[in-house]
């Protein structure tokens, strides 16, 4: 800290390109993500769907429990946009109601389980030693617990409480990804840029957040996007067996399960809820892809060998 170095700035200031501020990584990632059209469209669509499933039902003439005896098993019409089922329930209202549950479950479970996986994996891999051993014991322990049985028992006790469902599904779906994250972290820990950060006096948690997590981000993001779909399917499975969501309440899972029986004769009963589910998962995946490309500077749509 002996001498102030000011002579060098004079030459660089002449370059003319905005000298006031440097773009931080956050700004760069945001800019790169916004350049990815499919990702942005998907994100907007997801937000619109989420808002719609809560905002629309009060505006509809039918609630999801109302039975319209004059329209049993009717195809889509101006009255019932998505058609009706055998009981005369309006499928649009039912699908929206189902989306409320399924999107909440899917998004929450995916985020919670990925956050657990990333935290446990990076801590175990970065620090090693007793932290690693303890956390991996917990992983192994959770892996051998028959999770499906446990969830059914608890959910039955709590009468389909959605919070419990989310907590339990999240608690049993992070182990494998945390092991993968741990392995990647262990190899990243040996890299010189991590050593460089440590020698510069950067604190451990900052190294994890700034260097480790962005470098395992691709696997974490893919994992989140896949988990949205898996969580919805897990909830469907539980509901199908009569544990998750109880009638008369519905979820996308129960709707699809009901619709599969008449998929060839009355396709709308199946197609609309299933289509919405596909749309949600597709959007989640596209957002994930966009985010991954934005974080990874080497991900560019180029350089593929022409065969």
Q: Which CB, 21 or 157, lies closer to other proteins? A: 21
Instruction: Compute the least distance from the CB of residue 215 to other proteins, in Å.
Output: 6
d(CA 257, CA 252): 8
CB of 28 to other proteins, least distance (A): 6
- Whole-number minimum distance, CB 14 to other proteins, in Å? 10
* CA angle 88–91–92, rounded 5-degree value: 135
Contact status, residue 214 vs residue 295, Cβ threshold 8 Å: yes
Distance separating alpha carbons of residues 31 and 27, to the nearest angstrom: 6
Q: Cβ closer to other proteins: 59 or 200? A: 200
DSSP assignment, residue 21? -
Nearer to other proteins, 225 or 295 (CB): 295
CA–CA separation, 57 vs 123, rounded Å? 44
**Can you read off the two tokens belonging to residue 297?**
């500077």
Least distance in angstroms from the C-beta of 41 to other proteins: 24
Two structure tokens written together for 53: 């499933």
C-alpha span between 67 and 87 (Å, rounded): 6
Q: Which is nearer to other proteins, 24 or 265 (CB)?
A: 24
**If DSSP codes are grouped into helix, strand and coil, which group holds residue 3?**
coil
* Least distance from other proteins to the Cβ atom of residue 113, Å: 23
Residues that bind other proteins (CB under 8 A): 1-3, 5-6, 8-9, 11-13, 15, 17, 19, 21-25, 28, 191-193, 195-197, 199-203, 206, 210-211, 214-215, 217, 295-298, 302-307
Distance CA 3, CA 202 (A): 24
| Closer residue to other proteins (CB): 1 or 149 | 1
Burial class of 295 by CB neighbour count within 10 A (0 to 12, 13 to 18, 19+): buried
The nearer residue to other proteins, 17 or 59, going by C-beta atoms, is 17
CB closer to other proteins, 157 vs 303: 303
Question: CB 285 → other proteins: shortest distance, Å?
Answer: 21
DSSP label at 90? B
Shortest Å distance, C-beta 225 to other proteins? 19
* Bridge partner list, 84: 90
């Amino acid at each position: 800290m002996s001498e102030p170095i000011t002579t060098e700035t004079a030459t660089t200031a002449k370059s003319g390109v905005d000298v006031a501020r440097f773009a931080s990584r956050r700004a760069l990632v945001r800019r790169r993500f916004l350049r990815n059209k499919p990702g942005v469209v998907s994100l907007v669509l997801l937000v619109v769907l989420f808002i719609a499933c809560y905002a629309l039902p009060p505006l509809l003439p039918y609630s999801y429990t109302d039975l319209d005896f004059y329209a049993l098993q009717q195809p889509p019409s101006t009255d019932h946009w998505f058609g009706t089922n055998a009981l005369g329930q309006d499928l649009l209202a039912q699908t929206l109601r189902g989306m409320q549950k399924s999107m909440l479950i899917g998004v929450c479970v995916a985020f919670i389980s990925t956050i657990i996986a990333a935290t446990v994996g990076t801590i175990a891999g970065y620090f090693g030693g007793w932290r690693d051993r303890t956390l991996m014991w917990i992983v192994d322990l959770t892996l051998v617990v028959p999770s499906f049985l446990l969830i059914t028992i608890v959910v039955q006790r709590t009468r389909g409480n959605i919070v419990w469902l989310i907590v339990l599904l999240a608690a049993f779906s992070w182990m494998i990804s945390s092991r993968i994250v741990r392995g990647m972290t262990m190899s990243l820990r040996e890299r010189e840029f991590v050593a460089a950060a440590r020698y510069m006096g950067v604190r451990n948690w900052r190294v994890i957040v700034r260097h480790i997590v962005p470098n395992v981000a691709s696997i974490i993001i893919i994992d989140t996007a896949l988990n949205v779909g898996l969580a919805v399917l897990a909830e469907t499975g539980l509901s199908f067996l009569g544990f998750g969501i109880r009638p008369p309440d519905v979820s996308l899972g129960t709707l699809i399960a009901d619709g599969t029986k008449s998929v060839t004769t009355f396709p709308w009963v199946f197609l609309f809820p299933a289509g919405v589910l596909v749309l949600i998962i597709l959007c989640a995946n596209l957002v994930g892809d966009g985010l991954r490309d934005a974080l990874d500077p080497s991900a560019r749509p180029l350089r593929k060998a022409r065969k």
